[in-house]
Amino acid sequence: MKKVSVIVPCFNEEETIDLFYKTITSFWKESLSDHELELVLVDDGSKDSTYEKMISLAKADPSVRYGSFSRNFGKEAAMFAGLDLCTGDCAVVIDADLQHPVETIKKMVSKWDEGFEVIEGIKASRGKEARSHGLFAGLFYKIISSLVGFDMQNSSDFKLIDRKVIDVLRSFTEKDTFFRALTFWTGFKSTSVEYEVKDRAAGVSKWSGFSLVKYALRNIIAFTYTPLYLIAFLGIVVIIIGVILGIDAIVTYFMGEAVGGYPSLVILITLSTGAILSSLGIISVYMSKMFNEVKNRPRYIFRDHN
Ligand code: UDP
Ligand code: MG
């Protein structure tokens, strides 16, 4: 019997974890009993009783594996920790709050049985919660889709990946990953299934507006060099403006007209200083990312796992 690992990143999910467990196990018995289930719960440094709840679930059910971080390392790290722990022939990554309907896993598994290696969960509609930052999320996905070169608009972290893909992703040494796009990037045989985003079963979203902005910037930088090319482009634009103004200055000089000088000087100085500083800023951001990769610290630290 083929084994499916279900990876669940959990951060302060004490209100949902037991419900999630009940939902997935009863769904499995009813609909997917021809596949073995391995549940991999990753506690992303929760401050509530999520970890204790995981331990009691694992005690009662040998198919439950858990890992608990020493502190909050973020959902990306939690998903990759799940990939490190899991032993299945494929893995499904799913949220703990039941926003991703477990029934969709059946569709994913049957696509996998057909031979697909990456099955993306695509949002058919957005839940109530998503609408509050809908505008920003929409803009972010437009930008990232064009930069990354895939349509990321309705994609999510909810997906099934084959063991081959798991092993490839685990072999990456980079720390700043973007799971959602990396599965496209690997180029394995992929397809997608649609699902309706549900409302959170309990608790609140862990995303604030600011953390979404940080997430967006981080992923743009992790996935594309476009900002660096934009700097080069900006440099060329500034040079062209300089040449035009220079010619203008020479022409007015030979025409014997007095050069007004001051306003154009101010404009030039502020414009080029701004261009230089913002370019330095963008380069620094990439450099700090490189520094981070060079330090090669672990992406997460387990305080405990079974
Ligand atoms: N999550 C996590 N670490 C974090 C934030 C979130 O592991 O730092 C988990 C969270 O427990 C949930 C999933 O990631 O299982 C999605 O988080 P959430 O529901 O808060 O985000 P949203 O659905 O609003 O995108
Ligand atoms: Mg959620």
Distance 258 CA to ligand 1 centre (A): 65
What are the tens digits of pLDDT across the range 134-178? Answer: 666 677 777 767 766 666 667 789 999 999 999 999 998 888 888
Mutating to test ligand 1, I would choose from 47, 75, 136, 199 the residue with most ligand atoms within 8 A of its C-beta, which is 75
Q: Is the pLDDT of residue 129 over 50?
A: no
Residue 71 CB-density burial (10 A; 0-12 exposed, 13-18 middle, 19+ buried): exposed
Stretch 108-115: mean pLDDT, rounded? 95
Q: In the chain, where do the E strands start and end?
A: 3-10, 36-43, 64-69, 90-93, 118-125, 155-162, 190-196, 302-305
SS3 224: coil
Which ligand number lies closest to the CA of residue 215? 1
Q: Give the ligand at the shortest distance from the Cα of 71.
A: 1
Q: Is the pLDDT of residue 216 over 90?
A: no
Q: Partners of 9 in the beta sheet? A: 42
* Cα distance between residue 25 and residue 18, in whole Å: 11
d(CA 28, CA 112): 16
Q: Given ligand 1 and candidates 12, 13, 97, which is best to mutate, with the most ligand atoms within 8 Å of its CB?
A: 97
Instruction: Give the pLDDT confidence of 258-284 residue by residue, as tens digits.
Output: 666 777 787 788 888 888 888 888 888
Helix (H, G, I), strand (E, B) or coil at 7: strand
43-98 pLDDT per residue, tens: 999 999 999 999 999 999 999 999 999 999 989 999 999 999 999 999 999 999 99
Residue 6: closest CA among 175, 304, 27: 27
Q: Give residue-wise pLDDT tens across range 32-41.
A: 899 999 999 9
CA of 193 to the centre of ligand 2 (A): 19
Q: Which residue has the higher pLDDT, 10 or 286?
A: 10
Verify whether ligand 1 is closer than 6 Å to residue 198 (CB atom).
no
Q: What is the pLDDT of residues 174-202, one digit of tens each?
A: 888 888 888 888 889 889 898 988 888 77
Torsion, CA 163, CA 166, CA 167, CA 169, rounded to 10: 160
Q: According to the model, what pLDDT value does residue 67 have?
A: 95
